[in-house]
Structure 1
Amino acid sequence: MCQSMSFSVVPRYLAPVLLAVLLGSSAAGGPGPGPGPAAAGPTFTNPLLPSGPDPWVVQKDGFYYVMVTTGNSLVIRKTAKMSELSQAPATRVWSPQPQHENTRNVWAPELHFLDGKWYIYYTAGPDGQNCCGGQRSWVLENASPDPTQGPWVEKARLASPGADFWSIDMTVFELRGKRYALWSGQEAGSDQQNIYISAMSNPWTLTGPRTLLSKPEFEWELNGTPKVNEGPEILQHKGKTFLIFSASHCSTDTYALGQLTLTGRDPLVASNWKKSPEPVFVNYAASFAYGPGHNSFFKSKDGSQDWIIYHANNNPREGCGNPRSPRMQQFTWNRDGSPNFGKPVATGKPLARPAGE
């Protein structure tokens, strides 16, 4: 599937203009004025930025680091307050080199702090490919305390030993002292996207075979072509582990979030995961939220609240491109310990800032 089709068809002479809009700056790596209005008083409004598919947030040492898909580079925004993301400087930390295997269609970056270093996992493919034909998962490494500073080193392309497979949307998580990778991939000869898992021996190496955890099967997962499960993200709460993923093709307004629940100890055993038969977060026209998905999670500044950040389109039939904007809202927990995301909150509606801001 082409996760960000409009990025891949932008002519090269327009790419700097598009990137400047996404960065809020005309200078590579330089801070610029925020592309959205400043948060005022005790409230904020969605969207957080006018554009920003596949939003990812990680917290460390009092700061939030945010990444979104730009299509042709990797950019980090650093802020002490998520409600003021539009004012955060945007720093371009990596750009691909021409004629490499990771030159085009740079999607879904995630920043993780592992074993004392920063790592960025991202999707990219080679020049000369169509929108998605050569997509693979890659990882960069940075030993600096601040990921917006210091050199980023190209570390590896991630694949199972002896295997080379199409993969996008890679994320990593830890459970009971072991580390795992999750991603969206395909079987040979098929363009259907499934969710896979593999163990990791270090932040840049997969070990053992990949295991298929989820494939499109329910009606709400089968909208559009090809059939899609993608954007896996782990959510852990009070000893329970949930895998939240995006389903149906991103070109549809019915792109939505689904949920797997880990019911056994070993996450590498497919039968230890139970899929919810209904989606857990869906489009809501009254809130101008079409195709909500590809999310991540974070805690409020004081640690008392749980928040989801996701992208959605303002209008129907806007598809997989630049109009997708990042939005955030607080969520709660059901009595059985599962997350309750509610409905997408309306754009422009004043919301209380995350606690502690």
Structure 2
Amino acid sequence: MLFLRSSFWASLLLVGTLACSKSSPSVTPTPTPPTAPTTTTFTNPLLSVGPDPWVVRRGDVYYYMSTTGGNLVIRKTAKMSELGSAVSTVVWTPQQAGINQIEIWAPELHFLDGKWYIYYSANPLCCDGHRIFVLENSSADPTTGTWVDKGRIAVPGQDLWAIDGTVLEQNGKRYLLWSGHEVARAQTQRIYIAEMSNPWTLVGPRVELSKPEFSWEQLGDPDVNEGPEILKRGDKTFVVYSASHCSTDDYALGLLTASATADPLKLSSWTKTPTPVFVKNPAGRAFGPGHNGFFQSKDGTEDWIIYHANPQAGQGCGDNRSPRMQKFTWKADGTPDFGTPVALGTALPKPAGE
């Protein structure tokens, strides 16, 4: 009987042990996957489409805009090298009461007097073509809030064809620069400047700063100076502009230089460089490089240019133009050295701080 009792209890113990082992199986730890190496480079183009690229930084955020043709879109990113994955927001379309516009071009986003402003060009289906318009937003983040139409911006009494508005601040005053016509129904595009009394109002007179006069500015039809952009460093102010028609592969960048304390309304304040400062690179698949913007790296140690170019010859003014960016340096005389458009697909170091 003692033997049977021992066997009985031994059997119970064995069953309990097996039951316990089924309900609580041993767990093999999952190995931690190796950390992916940090990518330190990027390649152009930043996006497959993006004519007339513009970038502005506010705090640790970059805001990007370009021509879409039919609306205004802002991309928001902490890293310019990752623009392709940035959040994209349509912030405005022209389908509003009393607004009838087509061919919306070259938007620029500026933070002025504590508010955001977008300057864009559009054809209002009247008045011999394009004009420059202004939108205002009091939100801290331009991808949120409400954009209020402030109407056309033009010199009083000179409501002429105009595109590519940008803003210069100098000597405590603010100025609008743009590409426009000398008179109604003219064809040649010239760079003009006028003083601003507020972000949506000009006071006269306008002053012509540049017209197509060199052979490299007169390729294609019509002759063109457009896309003026401001660049400042030390005691100098630069206007970098696009020349020749966008339909040609020879669309290129030109340069105007003035003292940072000069009166920008005086033509004598400006010196025009007689040769282009940024031209096509056919071997690198960069045709018609131009209509650019500028920004600094996140740590503030590097200067970068963003511009559009076509990947093949003969593609003209359409949506084959893609945004590209590259670091640039400075010459001994204090002028910018943009170098040559970097070939598509070239691995470039990311902007410092990214």
> TM-score w.r.t. structure 1 length?
0.86
Contact 1:99–1:126 (Cα < 8 Å) also in 2: no
* Correspondences of 1:1-357 after superposition (within 5 Å): 41-97=39-95, 103-127=101-125, 133-188=128-183, 189-263=185-259, 265-357=262-354
Contact 1:125–1:135 (Cα < 8 Å) also in 2: yes
Contact 1:91–1:148 (Cα < 8 Å) also in 2: yes
- The gaps in structure 2 that reach 5 residues or longer are 1-36
Q: CA 1:315/1:133 → structure 2, altered by over 3 Å: closer, same or farther?
A: farther
- The letter of the residue matching 2:54 is W
TM-superposed deviation, 1:126 = 2.2
Q: CA 1:200/1:285 → structure 2, altered by over 3 Å: closer, same or farther?
A: same
Aligned to 2:318, the other structure's residue is in SS state: coil
TM-superposed deviation, 1:89 = 1.0
- The letter of the residue matching 2:241 is F
Q: Deviation above 4 Å: which 4+ runs of structure 1?
A: 98-102
1:103-136 CA distances to partner (integer Å, 9 max, x unpaired)? 1000000000000000000000124x6xx94100
Aligned to 1:164, the other structure's residue is in SS state: coil
Contact 2:124–2:131 (Cα < 8 Å) also in 1: no
Aligned to 2:228, the other structure's residue is in SS state: strand
- The gaps in structure 1 that reach 5 residues or longer are 1-38
Taking the aligned partners of 2:269 and 2:200, their CA distance within structure 1 comes to: 26
Contact 1:100–1:126 (Cα < 8 Å) also in 2: no
Asked which structure has the greater CA Rg, the reply is 2
Aligned to 1:309, the other structure's residue is in SS state: strand
> Taking every aligned residue pair, what percent have the same amino acid on both sides?
63
Taking the aligned partners of 1:179 and 1:236, their CA distance within structure 2 comes to: 14
1:204-246 CA distances to partner (integer Å, 9 max, x unpaired)? 0101111000000001000000000000001000121010000
Taking the aligned partners of 1:49 and 1:252, their CA distance within structure 2 comes to: 22
> Mean Cα displacement is larger for which, 179-188 or 160-169?
160-169
TM-superposed deviation, 1:354 = 0.1
Q: CA 1:236/1:248 → structure 2, altered by over 3 Å: closer, same or farther?
A: same
Q: CA 1:259/1:145 → structure 2, altered by over 3 Å: closer, same or farther?
A: same
Partner residue in 2 for 1:5: none
Q: How many pairs were matched up? A: 316
Q: CA 1:149/1:269 → structure 2, altered by over 3 Å: closer, same or farther?
A: same
Cα RMSD, aligned residues only: 1.5
